[in-house]
Structure 1
Amino acid sequence: MPRCSNATVCIANFLTILIAVPLICIGLYLRTQDGAKCQNSIPWVVIATGAALLFLSLCGILGSCCRVNFFMFIYLFLMFLMIISVIISMCFSFVVTSKKVEKTVSGLKLGNSSNWLQKFATSKWDETEKCMKETKMCSSRVFELIAKGDNTETGRWLSKTDLYDELSPVQAGCCRPPNDCGFTRVNDTYWEAPKSGKFTSSNNDCKAWSNSQDGMCYSCESCKAGTVAGVRKNFRINAWVNVGTLVYLLIVYTLGCCAFHNNRANKYERA
């Protein structure tokens, strides 16, 4: 029985290593996404989870394969703390992402999205805006996609075209003027305001738009909404990653408790 339990835990921890490495890779991938380039805390949560699993699996291997109860105790104690942390992180992520950023005819709106998520994504907007400009968020590729969906007759974005399938939420909110302002696209980087001098909407983002590469719509509410939507997406990914991680941790923790109990019983039998 002791050999069977220890061998099972040992195999489970080797599998944990195979799970921890992809988790770290997912975190690194999230860092490359537009919603996280200037909001680096979210990917680091996933990376930290993967790193913690990697450390725990090594302790578990030493405790189960080598039958060192000290490492096994540390392993189970840390895993218990991690299970609690994963549960808290998972519940929190689902709560703050329960409401989506609103998509309207005029563009992205903060709408009913979580107040906490809004503050988290936009509280240091000057720094975020600077980061967006430095990382060239509105690249030539983005302008090509915008031109692809543009109505050549009116210069306006077709309402039936789903811009959000082509661009990330951040790009959709920051790299073009709002749909309802009446701007006409002259070329990939220049939009002409209505000749009458009056915008076709009272949307404050109409006045915030600038054709300058350092201006664009970075100061628009739609840009902030796009950033919130991007951050929400990453929080959602983190939540579902935590669901899978929690299920696996509970299984391995149960096996670990069994192995720890068997190791102690075997020690007393030898004594």
Structure 2
Amino acid sequence: MGLSNNITAILNFIALLCSIPIIASGLWLASKPDNECVHLFRWPVVVLGFLILVISLIGFIGAYWYKEGLLALYLCFMAILITLLLVLLIFAFVVTRPDGSFWVPGRGYQEYRLDGFSNWLRDHVTSDDYWPKIRNCLAESNFCGKLNSRYVGAGAAQFFLAHITPLQSGCCKPPTICGYQYVDPTMWVNPVNPAADADCSVNS
């Protein structure tokens, strides 16, 4: 067995071993109680693990025992996988490049407008099929609770200069343009009508 085949066999054996914890992680997520974040990720993780397992197994057997047919199949699968990854990366770059962010005077964080995102991402995220799941996932992930704990007792001036994440900026507080008055990081009061359920309310 040539040196190149040895290296290919070793790399595929390592990939084969790595696929086992990936599959186990996906199965562990599948066994968890119902959770929107788990629903979004558990089966893609399992499928990814099985794909790595199958491809690395084909590559290992083909390289170790020098099975030309399996090596050809392995190279074909790898070419397809690399092409799909490149297409996915290009697509992700195109649809996420416009991020809807803008700076507000007197703020240490950026704010976000939905119309600043790409049409595909905006329509996909706000659709009735996906937005309720994403909203529930964000709520269960406690992004806003962590923000509140971090800045508990902070005054408005201190919070306005804070560096918070895009998710926290976009989901845990109303946009500055709405004119809400700061109480704490996740509680804001409408100065016009405190009981109003306006379009400027917190999205989370």
TM-score of the pair, normalised by structure 2:
0.67
Q: C-alpha separation between the residues in 2 aligned to 1:161 and 1:130?
A: 24
- Residue aligned with 1:110, SS: strand
1:187 Cα deviation after fit: 5.2
Letter of the structure 1 residue corresponding to residue 75 of structure 2: L
CA contact (8 A) 2:26 2:46 kept: yes
Letter of the structure 2 residue corresponding to residue 95 of structure 1: V
- The 5 A counterparts of 1:118-129 are 118-124=122-128, 127-128=132-133
State the partner residue of 1:242.
none
1:62 Cα deviation after fit: 0.8
Deviations 1:183-237 (A, max 9, x none): 334456643332xx279xxxxx982356xxxxxx22xxxx6xxxxxxxxxxxxxx
Whose helix fraction is larger, Structure 1's or Structure 2's? Answer: 1
State the partner residue of 1:72.
71
Determine what percentage of the aligned residue pairs are the same residue.
26
- Residue aligned with 1:191, SS: strand
CA contact (8 A) 2:58 2:71 kept: yes
The correspondence for 2:188, drawn from 170, 187, 191, is: 191
State the partner residue of 1:53.
52
State the partner residue of 1:207.
198
TM-score of the pair, normalised by structure 1:
0.53
Deviations 1:97-135 (A, max 9, x none): 222221342932135321111122221265236625862
CA contact (8 A) 1:102 1:108 kept: yes
Letter of the structure 2 residue corresponding to residue 140 of structure 1: G
CA contact (8 A) 2:8 2:59 kept: yes
- Residue aligned with 1:112, SS: strand
State the partner residue of 1:173.
170
Q: C-alpha separation between the residues in 2 aligned to 1:6 and 1:126?
A: 48
The correspondence for 1:110, drawn from 109, 114, 117, is: 114
Check 1:161–1:140 CA distance in 2 against 1; reply closer, same or farther (3 A cut). Answer: closer
Q: C-alpha separation between the residues in 2 aligned to 1:38 and 1:109?
A: 28
Letter of the structure 2 residue corresponding to residue 94 of structure 1: F
Higher alpha-carbon Rg: 1
State the partner residue of 2:179.
182
Unaligned runs of 5+ in 2: 28-35, 105-109
Check 1:117–1:148 CA distance in 2 against 1; reply closer, same or farther (3 A cut). Answer: farther
Q: C-alpha separation between the residues in 2 aligned to 1:60 and 1:79?
A: 9
Whose strand fraction is larger, Structure 1's or Structure 2's? Answer: 2
State the partner residue of 1:151.
156
